[in-house]
């Protein structure tokens, strides 16, 4: 089982500037995430639907049909791993992923440091285990540029979360993952000191363009 994490425990999240570059590359599809999960299986017990992409051949061969559900809001045939009544992935066995070597790409790429970077939690009570981990991550900084980049990511996340009405058609993401990912991609908008004096609608458009 997952080792319960002490509330005051801290975990090295790595150097922020290097992490940001690697994560942005991963979001572009140019590489996978390397997450120091340790024995944490927070993302496996947190009521996530896990998509099985067409390229997840090994995972598709290992997952029993009974564990699959049609993806909510998607056409039939887009398969996902569902989760049990307590939020556990059906492939979790005795606290460990039973198909770890063949796990889906989404599981390989999941990096809850995006929430720590953005200064937000991963969700409500169903994400309790991940939220503990998010609170424990501590980034280091190689220079002031890295500190400024982190401050910009946090400012972007706060803007997206709090000023959603400034976005055309109110199209800002509202789920934590969407907010964090957009904040990472658009953080450069908040590296510009002039952003704070611009109208919110202009800042929102700049975020969308980023
Ligand atoms: S497939 Fe494995 S790694 Fe992915 S959520 Fe399920 S138990 Fe966790």
What are the domain boundaries of the chain?
A: 142-209
Instruction: Give the pLDDT confidence score for residue 6 in this predicted structure.
Output: 64
Helix, coil or strand: residue 140: strand
103 Cβ closer than 6 Å to some ligand 1 atom: yes
Which residues does the chain have with pLDDT short of 70? 1-7, 72, 75-77
- Select from 53, 94, 104 the residue to mutate for testing ligand 1; criterion: most ligand atoms less than 8 Å from CB: 104
Residue 1 confidence (pLDDT): 42
Closest-lying ligand 1 atom to the alpha carbon of residue 41: 8
Say what the pLDDT of residue 68 is.
87
- Name the one residue in this structure whose structure tokens are 């908008």: 189
Whole-number pLDDT of residue 8: 77
Nearest CA to ligand 1 atom 5: 44
- pLDDT recorded at residue 77: 65
Is the Cβ atom of 63 under 6 angstroms away from ligand 1? no
Query: What pLDDT score does 30 carry?
Result: 84
**pLDDT of res. 33:** 78
Confidence at residue 204, expressed as pLDDT on a 0 to 100 scale: 96
Residue 42 token pair: 């927070």
Contact call for residues 141 and 150 (beta carbons, < 8 A): yes
User: What pLDDT is stored for residue 2 in this prediction?
Assistant: 47
Measured CA distances, 80 to 25, 48, 63, 123 (Å): 25, 10, 10, 20
Strands 11-15 and 137-140: parallel
Ligand 1 pocket, residue 127 CB under 6 Å: no
pLDDT of the residue at 54: 83
Closest alpha carbon to 152 in 120, 114, 185, 191: 191
In angstroms, the CA 117 to CA 176 distance is 12
Q: Is the CB of 89 under 6 A from ligand 1?
A: yes
Q: How many CB atoms lie within 10 A of CB 190?
A: 25
Q: How many CB atoms lie within 10 A of CB 207?
A: 24
Structure tokens at 3: 């080792």
Please write the tens of the pLDDT for every residue from 163-207.
Answer: 999 999 988 999 999 999 999 999 999 999 888 899 999 999 999
Rounded CA-CA distance 89/44 in Å is 5
């Amino acid at each position: 089982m997952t080792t319960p994490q002490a509330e005051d425990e801290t975990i090295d999240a790595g150097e922020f500037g290097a992490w940001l570059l690697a994560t942005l590359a991963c979001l572009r599809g140019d590489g996978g995430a390397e997450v120091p999960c340790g024995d944490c299986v927070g993302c496996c017990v947190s009521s996530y639907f896990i998509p099985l992409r067409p390229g997840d051949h090994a995972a598709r061969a290992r997952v029993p049909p009974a564990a699959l559900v049609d993806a909510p809001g998607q056409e039939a045939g887009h398969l996902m791993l569902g989760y049990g009544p307590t939020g556990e992935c059906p492939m979790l066995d005795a606290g460990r992923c039973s198909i770890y070597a063949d796990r889906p790409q989404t599981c390989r790429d999941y990096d809850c440091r995006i929430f720590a970077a953005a200064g937000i939690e991963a969700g409500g009570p169903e994400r309790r285990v991940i939220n503990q981990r998010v609170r424990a991550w501590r980034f280091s900084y190689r220079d002031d540029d890295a500190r400024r980049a982190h401050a910009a990511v946090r400012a972007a996340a706060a803007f997206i979360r709090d000023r959603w009405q400034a976005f055309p058609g109110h199209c800002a993401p509202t789920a934590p993952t969407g907010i964090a990912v957009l904040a990472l991609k658009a953080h450069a908008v908040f590296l510009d000191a002039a952003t704070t004096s611009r109208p919110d609608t202009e800042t929102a458009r700049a975020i969308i363009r980023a």
